[in-house]
Structure 1
Amino acid sequence: MEKLELIIGQIEDDARRLDAGEHVSGPSAQEYRDRVARSAPFAGRVVTGVRDVERLLEQADPAVHHEQGMTCVWRAATAACRKAKLTLGLPGADAPDEAECRSTCVNLAYTDRDIAELQQELVVLQAAAADPLAPKPRRDRAAAQVAQDLTIIERHYGRTTEDERDIT
């Protein structure tokens, strides 16, 4: 029941933000908008048993997962995290795995909220990349992340087309 309430609350918040003009970018931007629009008008139901909750979850869950600095619009067939697990011979998941997330995944969308998180992270990464006392591999990794985050941020604010298929 708590998961259902979380999903309904999240979708209502997403719909409110989109209605207020929140910008969305990334390869799954349009799919994100479509799923939120389809899921937002939840009229409510009386739930009396576990099976009712499970059935309602199947119907109401748009499979939109807000993660740190990104939003996954989950599709198992195209999920890079799932493909990475399958390549290793591990079972594929039915939900995103942030630890295996790839910036090239076509399931990603970036909301203004995600970009704000990336901008906060950027300050920390830039400091780490410039830290003369840090080992060179650590500085290099931070610099690579800075470049990646800057690309995502620039595309979010700079593109007029919402359906970007070439995120790297």
Structure 2
Amino acid sequence: MSKSPRFRNVVLTLLVVVAGVLAGCSQQPSADALKGPAEEVSSAVRAASLAVDLRISDSTTAAAASTAADDMLGDVESATKEVHALSAQTQEERTLRNDVLAAFSSVSRALLHARDALSSSSNGPSDGQGKAQLSTVQGELRAATEQLDSLMTKAGIQ
């Protein structure tokens, strides 16, 4: 074999190895890669739910509860960006990533409603209408939590 074909084979082998290493390093939406963001969102929705509970029982102010919900919304947005950055190469990975993003979207929507209900001056625990609205929001937060918990169990994240 002459020097040129041998050099070409070495270079091609090196390129294949480098491509394999790089492909192995890219984040894919496996249960392990989704665990951190899913746990972050799970904690966020539970914290917001607690803030609503505290407001319903008049154990916190509207401002404190609203701020907590807003902070938790930021955590969910961060986790959503992290999941969007994952590359899904198979249909199963795409389905899992899309299901997680759908659950995160439900949580975000519930958190937005919670924040809005908590920041409304008319939603005090002594106000019947306000308490009813907070109870509705609490139900929405619980439904979003159940959806996320179910998905985490199905995906083997918990």
Verify same fold: TM over 0.5. Answer: no
Greater strand share, structure number: 1
Greater helix share, structure number: 2
With the length of structure 2 as denominator, give the TM-score of the two structures: 0.31
